Amino acid sequence: MRIHRLEISAFGPFAGTERIDFDRLSAHGLFLLNGATGAGKTSVLDAICFALYGSVPGARQDGKRLRSDHAEAAAEPRVTCEFSAKGRHFEVSRSPAWDKPSTRGKNGFTVQQANTLLRERVDGVWVEKSGRNDEAGAEIADVLGMNREQFTRVVLLPQGDFAAFLRSKASDRLELLQSLFGTQRFEAVEQELSRQAQDAKAEVASLTARLDLLLAQAESETAALDLDPADAPGRDAPDALLAWLDDAAAAAATGRRTAAAAAGQQAADQASLLEAATARASRHAKLAAAEQRRNDADAAAPALAEQAITLGLHRKAEVLGGQLRAVESAGAAEDLAGTALLEAARQLRSAAVADPELAGLDLVDAGADTGREPEAFDSAALRNGLGQLRSLRAVLTERLPDESRLTGLTDRGSRLRLQLTALETQQRTGAAALDALRTESEALVTGIVPLEELAAEAQLRAKEATAADELVAIVGRYLTTEAASSAIAERHAAARNDHQDLRQHWLDLREQRLTNAAAELAAQLRAGVPCPVCGSQEHPEPAPAAASALAVAEAEKAAQQASDDAEAALAALGRELAEARQDVAVLAAQGGSTPSEEARADAALARARADDAARAASDLAAGRARLAELETAIASAERAQAEAASGIAQTQSTIAEVDEQAEVLEHALDKLRAGHASLEGRIAALTGTTAVLERADAAQSVLEQAGARTAEARRQLDQALPATGFSTEAAARAALVPAPEARGLEAAIRAGQDEAARIQELFAGEELALAAAERAAGELVSEAALEELQAASAAAERQSRDAELAAGLAENSVRTLGRIAGEYAELAAAGREPRERAALLGAVAEAARGGGDNTYRMSLNSYVLAARLEQVAVAASERLIGMSDGRYTLQHTDAKAARGAKSGLGLEVVDEWTGQRRDTATLSGGESFMASLALALGLADVVQHESGGVDIETLFVDEGFGSLDDQALEQVMDALEGLRDGGRVVGLVSHVAEMKQRIGTQLQVVKGRNGSTLHISDDARA
């Protein structure tokens, strides 16, 4: 990145607005930030860091107010930085939280919250990117590729901070290097290896459990075989145990199969005896049943003969059944036709009296209602009347559409009159609605003006409300943090008192022990061992030891340990107190010290103002939308009024035309109705009259046809009687029996004949003949003997089934044991690879986390960081060689740490003059500065390379150059000037006189009673 411009207002020691043109300073590559002590040289770097990240580096953030105490009370503190990175150009402006004079606050001030504005220059125009602190910070960190910690280690090298890395412990270096190089992925690899090792271990445990389950299944399978376990191998030899179980089960299965065969043979013998006895008893029972059936058939023979005679006469009469049924059917049809003719004549007479259409037709005689047989109608007169009536009905039917048309005209006239009424009503209502719409539109136009003024402030008021709500939250966190800080301060004070008491006690004991030092040394003398004071091996007169000398030494050592422990606890509480006070200071800088009631009141007022503006914006949008709707509605209402007037005139003209057509059509149809209500009514009457004539004509024709069929049927019956042996129709009818009775007679005769045949066949069979012979010989089977044989056979069958089941179970056990042995062998073979894999993964995971065979106890993450540190040491040594006149280089060491601590992140300084390595803590002040500067520059180079090509064009060094002699200063300056070779700009913060002479381009900080100011000088000597 490259910084182009910095503007500082009411920030740090700068009371007014100071502008720094870094493009002008960068033109020379190397410039000096010069000024008196306390003038504000470091504050310039603080302003850069604050603009980019919203906070200042390191400990300077603690307890330091960013706003200048020299500035006017109402002056807003603000830092604006213009910079470029990755081909993009940005400007960020930040203001910290500060107390603004207020007339409403109890203490006279109102806390203004921190705010940020980030802009980017696109095509020559500044475009706003974000107005939120967090969003702007995230955008800048993404563009720069560094967070604040990395920025202060790589771009800003502040006082006292970068030298700490040289003196850090391995654990501190681990945390810093991990944050700079982002090696969290290697920690993820360690965790993944551990997870895979656990999974592999669980898989092996699952395989072992399945093998144990198979052994348990094999033992359970043979439990029912009653095997003798005396010679059985143990579970520690699973293959031998499975083989023994298989052999023992096979032997048991063979024995049970032999016993099952013997039981089966015995059951077969008993079944044969039972079958023979059962067959003899069955034959005797069949013989008794056959004799009973023969006696029953002999008793039923006379009745069957009579039934056969009756059935024979029925069969002869049945031959005439068709003629008899034809005579009956024809007679019945003739009777029905006569009845129908009488009914038709009655209806015709009734219709002639009531129907004027039949008044002129003479179709029936006057005496037809006396009850005698009806006379035939005059067919010609009947058909003539039917023709006349049908012709008249056709004429009326053709005119039916005219009547429908008349109805339609009448209905249309009614609808048109209703439509006319509606149009007139609509015209009156529309006029009133149009007036109301115009009135409402005028009122809306008047009310929109004040809403527009209030809605314009909606966004500003919303931001003020959000800031006020954030302040309420910050006040709450400030109160909580302040209370926690007070509690820690009390604990720190108590710990300080305890430490002072314990230290004083230790010093008292040490003084007492030193007083008795001679006696203590005398107690340690041994004959023949040189004295640690004089070197003599003889000790003629050792000082007498007091009885309590050794006890005092031990007590002094215990007191020293207690004092050290108390000092460590005090230091830990001091760090905790510093962190708590830093949190309190940060929250106070953000406005946390504002009274909570005032913050809540301000937040409520700001929220109410924002709500008013939001409601005004909503009402304004609704009003404008309603105004547009009203304009559309007014135009529509005006069109509707014009359309209503036109419709009224057209409807009135149509009504007159329809009334004229209806009057002409009504006069023509009135003659055709002939007194009926409508043409359809007269047509319906003619249809009924025509139907009466048609029924009379049809009834007369049916009666004539029925009489002819009856005469023909009697003639055919008389011709068929002699051939059947019957003299009369009555005799034939008497011989007939109902069909169900005839079928019953036939079935009974057939059943008797079949029974006689079956009985004869039974007695002719060998089985009944054998039974008769056995009965004659007295060879009978009693019920008791049969039951005894049945019980014996059932018992033998049960024994056979039990023996077969036992043999089957044993054989099934043998097959199951074979399957289990196969599965066991297959599973055992399949488990070798998972066990080897589990062992390998366990060893790799253990080594990756720094255990196992990892003698240096370096985790994978530490190993990677050690490689990065080695690169940093190489890069730093290139510069340290030049600064130290070739004497010193830095070297990474992975020497094993003491007392089991993790190794791999050590640093040593190599003295090329002596060839010795030594700890970095042994360097002098000036040497330590050169080594720290070289290490910081090397770290910047490696981070730039490892961060994906972060372009660091501007670098600031704020450190005590005064600790260097003239030669060392010359060498350091040569190294710093070499940084310009790649186009890098280096800014040095110092007030060393030699540097003022060497560096012509300077940013001078001038200190005054009213605050500091900044000036750029291109030639210091001028």
Q: What is the per-residue pLDDT across 282-306, written as a single tens digit (0 to 9) for each? A: 777 777 777 777 777 777 777 777 7
Residue 120's pLDDT band (cuts 50, 70, 90): very high
pLDDT of residue 108: 67
Query: Which of 3-7, 371-375, 973-977 has the least mean pLDDT?
Result: 371-375
Greatest Cα-to-Cα distance within the chain, rounded to the nearest angstrom? 190
Burial (Cβ within 10 Å: 0-12, 13-18, ≥19) of residue 563: buried
Residues 290, 881: Cα–Cα separation, whole Å:
137
Least confident residue range of 90-99, 181-190, 417-426? 181-190
Full-model pTM: 0.40
User: How far is it, in rounded angstroms, from Cα 187 to Cα 195?
Assistant: 12
- Quote the Cα angle for 639-644-649, to 5°: 135
Q: How many helices (H) and strands (E) does the chain have?
A: 26, 17
Evaluated on CA atoms 986, 989, 991, 992, the torsion sign reads: negative
Instruction: Give the pairing of strands 109-112 and 115-122.
Output: unpaired
Q: Tell me whether strands 98-101 and 88-95 are parallel, antiparallel or unpaired.
A: unpaired
Return the pLDDT at 978. 67
CA distance 120 to 212: 71
Looking at per-residue confidence, does 1005 or 196 come out higher?
Answer: 1005
* Rounded CA separation 337/782 (Å): 81
pLDDT band at 172 (very low <50, low <70, confident <90, very high): low
Distance CA 996, CA 32 (A): 7
Give the integer Cα–Cα distance in Å for 98 and 472.
15
- Is the pLDDT higher at 853 or at 75? 75
pLDDT greater than 50 at residue 956 = yes
Closest CA to 593 of 133, 115, 106: 106
- Judge whether 13 and 1011 are in contact, CB under 8 Å: yes
* pLDDT for the residue 346: 77
Note the pLDDT of residue 197: 78
Whole-number pLDDT of residue 370: 43
Assign 3-state DSSP to the chain and report helix, strand, coil percentages, each to 5.
70, 10, 20
The rounded Cα 652 to chain-centroid distance in angstroms is 70
Tally of CB atoms within 10 A around 639: 11
696, 382 Cβ separation under 8 angstroms: yes
- The listed range with the strongest mean pLDDT (46-55, 556-565, 893-902) is 46-55
pLDDT (tens digit per residue) in 757-813: 777 777 777 777 777 777 777 777 777 777 787 788 888 888 888 888 877 777 787
Task: Say if residue 867's pLDDT is above 60.
Answer: yes
Query: Mean pLDDT throughout 418-441?
Result: 84
Helix or strand run (H / E) with residue 766:
helix 766-777
Q: Please give the pLDDT value at position 345.
A: 72
**Mean pLDDT, the chain, integer:** 78
Three-state secondary structure readout of 477-528: HHHHHHHHHHHHHHHHHHHHHHHHHHHHHHHHHHHHHHHCHHHHHHHHCCCC
Strand partners, 11: 14, 67
Q: What's residue 936's pLDDT?
A: 75
3 state SS for 675-742: CCCCHHHHHHHHHHHHHHHHHHHHHHHHHHHHHHHHHHHHHHHHHHHHHHCCCCHHHHHHHCCCHHHH
Query: d(Cα 907, Cα 923) in Å, to the nearest integer?
Result: 13
CA 196 to chain centre: 27
pLDDT over threshold 80, residue 422: yes
Element (H, E) at 890: strand 888-893
Range with lowest mean pLDDT among 324-338, 508-522, 534-548: 534-548
Q: What is the pLDDT of residue 1022?
A: 33
785 vs 71 pLDDT, higher one:
71
Q: Which of 470, 477, 472, 475 is nearest to 592 (CA)?
A: 475
As a whole-number percent, the residues of the chain with pLDDT over 70 amount to: 83
Cα gap 22→956, rounded to integer Å: 12
Mean pLDDT computed over 233-261:
77
Share of the chain above pLDDT 90, in %: 5
Q: Write down the pLDDT at residue 14.
A: 92
Position 429 pLDDT exceeds 70: yes
Least confident of 30-44, 257-271, 508-522, 564-578: 508-522
Average pLDDT over residues 734-742: 73
User: Confidence band (pLDDT; 50, 70, 90) for 94?
Assistant: very high
Query: What pLDDT, on the 0 to 100 scale, is given for residue 47?
Result: 92
Beta carbons of 38 and 991 less than 8 angstroms apart: no
Q: So what's the pLDDT on residue 4?
A: 92
In angstroms, what CA-CA distances link 648 with 425, 434, 636, 655?
Answer: 11, 19, 19, 11
User: Between β-strands 78-85 and 88-95, what pairing exists: parallel, antiparallel or unpaired?
Assistant: antiparallel
Residue 459 CB partners (closer than 8 Å, separation 6+)? none
394: left (phi over 0), alpha (psi -120 to 50) or beta: alpha
In this prediction, residue 556 has a pLDDT band, given cuts at 50, 70 and 90, of confident
pLDDT number for residue 555? 83
Tell me the backbone φ, ψ of residue 942, rounded to 5 degrees.
Answer: -70, -40
- pLDDT score for 366: 40
Identify whether the C-beta of residue 173 lies closer than 8 Å to the C-beta of residue 869: yes
